[in-house]
Amino acid sequence: MENSCFRKKGLIFGLVIIVFLIFSGTAFAEIDNIFVEDNANILTTEDKNYIKQINEEVFITLPGEPQYAVITLKSLKGFESIESYAEKKFKELGVGNKQLNNGFLFVISVEDREYRLETGYGVEEIITDSMKEDIVTSEATELLQDEKYGESVMMISKNIEQLVKMKYSDLDSAKEMVAAEKERQDKLMKMIFIIVIFFFIITALVAIIYILSIMFIRKKLTKSYLAKDLVGYIYIDKANTILGTAKGTSKVNLSESIAKKINRMPNKMKFLSNDYDLKNYIAQFLLIDSLIQYCKQFKKEAPYNVSVYLDSKHLDTLKSELIPISSTFDYPVTVNPYLSDVEMLIVGDYVEIVTEKHRQALKIASKNKKFIETVSQQYASEKEKQLGRIDYKLIIALMVYYFLKDRDLSDPELLSQLTINEASLEKAYKFAKKRKKEIDSDQRQKALNDLTNMSLGNYYMHTMIWSSYNDSSGGSSGGGSSFGGGSSGGGGFSGGW
C-alpha cells in the first residue's frame, strides 16, 4: 500500500519536472534570443526563433557576419519619430560588427502605423533606399493594413534575409552595382538641381514681369480714375491657403486690387484704352464696396451673409440701375460716390427686397429638403437594421446629397423635376453605401455635419471632396549570441500603411 502511494507521488513529481522543463526550455529560448524585442506581442515563438536563426545559421556564414534585429512597439509614446527611436535603439544595442558597422534593425510601431529599417554605415551601399519596394512589398503592406502585423514582419524579415544573402554572395559586384546606382542618382540629382535653378529663374522673371505689369496698370488707374490711397471692401468667394486669403469680405486698396484683376485679362491693353468700359468696370467694385458697407452698418436690415446680397441673380438688377451713373462721377474718384445718401437709399431698397426673397427661398428649401430626407429615411430604414446612429444618419444624408447634387434647393419646382421611385431610391442607397465606405470612421461625424449644413444653392455650388475625409497615417538578454557593437549610419528607409 505504502509502495503504491510512493509510486503515485513519484509519478506526479516526474510529470511536474517534465512540464517544468518544457516550459522553462521555451522561456530560456525566449531569454536567449537577443535579436527580437516583441513589445507589441505580434510575433509567435516560431517567428522569433526564425529571426534568431537568420543570424546564427545564415548571416554568420557571410563575410563580416552581419546582424539583423527586430523591435515591435505598441506606440512611439515619448519619442518624436520612429527615425529617432530606431537610431537611438541601434546605438544602444550595437547591432552588427563594431569595425564593419554591418547591422540591420527593423522597427515597427503598430498604433502609429509606421516602420523603419535602420542600417549601419557598412551596409549603406548594400541596402539602399531604392530597395524599399523589394523589402516592404505591396503584399507586406496589405498584411499591415489587414492588421496581420506578425505575418508582415516575417515577410519583410525574409525579404531582408534573401536580399542580404544575394548581395553578400558577390560583395564586390554588389558594391559596384550600388555604386553605379548611386552615380546614376547623383547625376539625376544634379539634373534636378539644374531644373530647380532654371525654374527659380523663370519664376523670378515671371514675378518681376507681373509686378511691373501691376505697377503699370495701377499707375494708369490712379492717374485718371482712382485716388492712390482709396480703400474699399471686396468679397473673396474662395479661400486660398497658399496666398493666405480667407473666404469673406476684405478691406483692400482698390487701385491695387482692380489692377490685379485687369492684369489677368487676355486683352488688358485694349481694355485699358477703352474709357467707357474701364469706368463701368471700376464702378462694379465701388458698388460692391457700398453694398458690403451697408450690410456691415445695417445688420438688422441685412440679416443674412453678405454673399446672399452679392448673388448675381439679384445683383445684376442693382448693377443695371446704378452702374450707368458712373459716367457722371468726378474722376479721379477720392471717395466712393455710391456711399452718398441717394445711392445708399437705392442700395437699402435692394437689400430689403433680397432679404425677403431669401427668406422665402429658405422656406422652400426647407420644405424640399425635408421631403427628400423623409423618403430617404423610409427607404434606408427598410435596408439598414444594424447600423449605429451616426452611420445610419450618414446613409440618409448621402442619399439626400445624391438627389440634390447640382440642384438649386430653393427652386419651387424642384420636386416636380426629380424622379423619386423604387429604382432611383435604390441607386441613391447604393451611392450612399459606396461613399460611406470611402469615409474613415473617425471622419464620419464631420462628413455628416457638412452634409447636414448644406442648404439652398450649396448643393449646386458645392461638390463634396471625398478624399478630405480620409486620413493617411520587452527586451531580451542573456548568454549565447551577442551584438557586435555596430553603429547606425542613419541609412535605411521609413514608411507607413
Cell numbers describing residue 285: 467694385
pLDDT at residue 456 in the model: 58
Cell numbers at 75, concatenated? 506606440
Judge contact between 439 and 398, C-beta under 8 A.
Answer: no
- What value does the mean pLDDT of the chain take? 83
378-394 mean pLDDT: 82
Mean pLDDT, residues 225-251 = 79
Phi and psi torsions of 34, nearest 5°: -85, -5
Q: What is the pLDDT of residue 133?
A: 85
pLDDT at residue 26 in the model: 43
pLDDT at 326: 93
Hey, what long-range contacts does 329-332 have (CB within 8 A, 24 or more apart)?
A: 329/279, 329/283, 331/224, 331/225, 331/279, 332/222, 332/223, 332/224, 332/225, 332/226, 332/227
Residue 446: predicted pLDDT: 85
The pLDDT value given to residue 460? 47
Average pLDDT over every residue of 171-197:
75
Looking at residue 216, what is its pLDDT?
A: 96
**Cα angle for residues 106, 111, 116 (degrees, 5° grid):** 20
Please tell me the distance from the alpha carbon of residue 226 to that of residue 212, in angstroms, as a whole number: 19
**Overall average pLDDT of the 449-468 stretch:** 61
pLDDT at 176: 63
21 has pLDDT over 90: no
Mean pLDDT of 277-295: 96
Using pLDDT thresholds of 50, 70 and 90, give the confidence band for residue 42.
very high
For residue 285, report the phi and psi dihedrals to the nearest 5 degrees.
Answer: -65, -40
pLDDT value, residue 22: 47
Dist. CA 121–CA 141, nearest whole Å = 27
The mean-pLDDT minimum among 159-163, 185-189, 207-211, 384-388 falls in: 384-388
How big is the chain by its Cα radius of gyration, in Å? 36
Write the pLDDT tens digit of every residue in 414-438.
Answer: 899 999 999 999 999 999 988 888 8
Of the candidates 110, 100, 201, the one whose C-alpha atom is nearest the C-alpha of residue 152 is 110
User: b vs e for 221-251, b when ≥16 Cβ sit within 10 Å of the residue's Cβ?
Assistant: bbeebbbeebebbbbeeeeeeeeeeeeebee
Residue 181 burial (CB count, 10 A): 14
Distance CA 394, CA 407 (A): 20
Q: Are 81 and 47 in contact (CB under 8 A)?
A: no
Q: What is the pTM of this model?
A: 0.52
Q: Which of 73, 84, 68 is nearest to 34 (CA)?
A: 68
Distance CA 161, CA 167 (A): 10
Question: Given a cut of 60, is residue 332 above it in pLDDT?
Answer: yes
Q: What is residue 321's predicted lDDT score, i.e. its pLDDT? A: 94
Task: Give yes or no for residue 2 having a pLDDT over 70.
Answer: no
Domain boundaries, the chain: 33-162, 227-255+265-359, 373-469
Question: Following DSSP, what letter does each residue of 403-450 receive, concatenated?
Answer: HHTT--TT-TTHHHHS--SHHHHHHHHHHHHHHHHHS-GGGHHHHHHH
* Coil, helix or strand at residue 108: strand
Choose between 149 and 459: higher pLDDT: 149
Q: Thinking of the domain 33-162, which architecture would CATH place it in?
A: Roll (3.10)
Q: Residue 99 pLDDT > 60, yes or no?
A: yes
Contact 295, 330 (CB under 8 A): no
More confident residue, 451 or 469: 451
Report DSSP state, residue 492. Answer: E
What would the grid cell of residue 96 be? Answer: 552588427
Q: What is the pLDDT of residue 313?
A: 86
CA distances from 19 to 5, 14, 317, 321 (A): 21, 9, 94, 99
pLDDT band at 11 (very low <50, low <70, confident <90, very high): low
DSSP reduced 3-state for 12: helix
**What are the residue ranges of helices labelled H in 54-111?**
82-93
464 and 81 in contact (C-beta within 8 Å)?
no
Name the band, by pLDDT with cuts 50, 70 and 90, for residue 284.
very high
Q: Using an 8 Å Cβ cutoff, are 105 and 69 in contact?
A: yes
* pLDDT of 464 higher than 60: no
Residues 39, 474: Cα–Cα separation, whole Å: 5
Q: What is residue 16's three-state secondary structure?
A: helix
Distance CA 338, CA 318 (A): 12
Question: pLDDT tens, 43-92?
Answer: 999 999 999 999 889 888 887 788 899 999 998 887 778 888 888 888 88
pLDDT above 80: residue 397: yes
Contacts by 258-266, CB closer than 8 A, 24 or more apart: 258/221, 258/226, 258/282, 258/285, 259/214, 259/217, 259/218, 259/221, 260/214, 262/217, 263/210, 263/213, 263/214, 263/217
Segment (H or E) for 367: helix 341-383
CA distance 77 to 112: 9
For the cut 80, the answer to whether the pLDDT of residue 365 exceeds it is: yes
Q: What is the mean pLDDT of residues 290-303?
A: 94
Label residue 318 by pLDDT band (50, 70, 90): very high
